[in-house]
Structure formats: C-alpha cells, structure tokens
Amino acid sequence: MKLVFLGPPGAGKGTQAERICEVMGLAHISTGDMLRQEIEKESEIGLLAANLINRGELVPDEVVIKLVRERLLCDDAKKGVVFDGFPRTLEQAKLLTEEIGTDFVLNIDVPLEKLLHRIVTRRTCVDCNIIYSTEELKSENCPRCGKKLSIRADDNPDAFKERYQVYLERTLPIIDYYKARGELINIDGDRPKDVIAADIADKLEKLGGLKYDKG
Ligand code: AMP
C-alpha cells in the first residue's frame, strides 16, 4: 500500500497520515520530519536544509529523493507507506511513479484564510511527534506522553507566506498530474480532524477495499 497526502502547509497532512499509519501499521514517511531530524543531528544534509526550511523554501530534489530511497529500505516500509510532504515537485512525483508507484493520492483542501491560523497555533510533541493545536491543549505538555511540545521554526507568518507561494508554484502542478492519472481523491480539510479521518477511511474503503477501524 502506497498512499500520498498532498495539500498546502497547515492542511493537516501530518495529522491524518499519522492516524492512518497507526491504525493500519504503515510507515509514516514525512520528508519534513526526516529533514528536521537531519538538522538536529547537524549532519551535512541538516546544515544544508536548515536555512532553506527556515526561509520556507524547498530542499533540492536530489537531497530529498536520497533520504526517501534510504527510508524505503527500512523494514517497517515493507507493509506499506504513507507519504506526507512528498512529493512536492513534479520531478519528485514522476520519480515516485517510476520507482514504486502510488495506490491513492489524497489531496486535503483547506481555504487559505484558515491555514495561517492553523500554522501559528500548531504544537508538536518532541517525543511522540503528535501534532496539536493550542486550541485543544489544556497544558504545555503532550496530552499523550507528557513530554514537551515544540513550535516549528518555520511556523511563523513570514515563513508561511513563502511556503504557501512555493506550494502554489511548485506543488500545485502535481495535483493536475495525479488527476490526469486518475489517482486523485479530494478531501475537504475544513472540518474537524475526526470527521476528516472518517471521510478518508470511507473513501479508501469504497475505492480499494481498504478496511480499518475508524475509531
Ligand atoms: P513539512 O514538514 O512537510 O511542512 O516540510 C517542512 C519543510 O521541509 C518544507 O517547507 C521544505 O523546506 C522541506 N521539505 C519537506 N519535504 C520536502 C520535499 N519533498 N521536497 C523539498 N523540500 C521539502
């Protein structure tokens, strides 16, 4: 099983991808998370990526593709994978089709005026990586594991402006690419996350007999 989540920054790709992976035992491949790990390790890739990410620009295709190829060799990817934040350019999308193909491409659509609000209220657990909104939090720690929550360096209005522009220019053409291939499933992302998750589960079940517990 190979699923792809597309959508602008703040659409909820990470939240929905994490959820599907948990219930179906698939590997969550978030290129953003992988790059942030490289930054933390201060690796060569991390040093190159840090400035680009903080400015809201894309990391070069060859760097991201190398990371994804290595990640796909891990044992947990054998049962299936959910891509989140990849592909982000037409080149990446074409390569993905050529190398392993895709089963379903879910495009989460959220109006622009909602995205910035979601980005500036986003918090991520430093340990279990679960994403929250400050609006649903009662304390400064992760409700699941109690660890600290962090704010991403690029979750601010300036970086968002650039990320959204880059999304329009570089990532939006991918939607037409998958539409033309008949692989695109549109998801209304302007709803509560449980409702979106149930809708995704229904659509996947209808289209491919993919059955899982929606609770
Ligand atoms: P994300 O966590 O998906 O929002 O990604 C954060 C940042 O990482 C993006 O704004 C890009 O700078 C970089 N990035 C993540 N995935 C990719 C990708 N597939 N191609 C290029 N850059 C990426």
Q: 35: Cβ below 6 Å to ligand 1? A: yes
With the most atoms of ligand 1 within 8 angstroms of its CB, the residue from 53, 55, 92, 161 to mutate is: 53
pLDDT digits (tens, 9 = 90+) for 119-176: 999 999 989 888 999 999 999 899 999 999 999 999 999 999 999 999 999 999 999 9
Task: List the catalytic residue out of 71, 88, 118, 123.
Answer: 88
Q: 6: Cβ below 6 Å to ligand 1? A: no
pLDDT digits (tens, 9 = 90+) for 179-199: 999 999 999 999 999 999 999
The pTM (predicted TM-score) of the whole model is: 0.93
Contacts of 164 (CB under 8 A, 6+ apart): 8, 9, 112, 115
Cis ω before 87 (30° cut-off from 0): yes
The DSSP string of 148-213 is BEE--TT-SHHHHHHHHHHIIIIIHHHHHHHHHTT-EEEEE-SS-HHHHHHHHHHHHHHHH-----
Nearest one of 138, 108, 87 to 13, comparing CA atoms = 108
The answer to whether residues 8 and 174 touch, using CB atoms and an 8 Å cutoff, is no
pLDDT digits (tens, 9 = 90+) for 106-119: 999 999 999 999 99
pLDDT digits (tens, 9 = 90+) for 93-109: 999 999 999 999 999 99
Nearest one of 107, 85, 111, 82 to 191, comparing CA atoms = 111
The answer to whether residues 214 and 33 touch, using CB atoms and an 8 Å cutoff, is no
CA distances to 7, 60, 99, 107, 174 from 183, in Å? 15, 26, 16, 10, 11
Band (pLDDT 50/70/90 cuts) for residue 87 is very high
Q: 82: Cβ below 6 Å to ligand 1? A: no
Q: At how many degrees (to 10) do helices 112-120 and 157-166 cross?
A: 140
Nearest one of 21, 78, 32 to 200, comparing CA atoms = 21
Asked about 170 being catalytic, the answer comes back as no
Tokens representing residue 80 in the block: 């299936």
Predicted pLDDT of residue 213: 56
Asked about 152 being catalytic, the answer comes back as yes
Q: 58: Cβ below 6 Å to ligand 1? A: yes
Asked about 88 being catalytic, the answer comes back as yes
- For residue 85, the CA-to-ligand 1 centroid distance in Å is 6
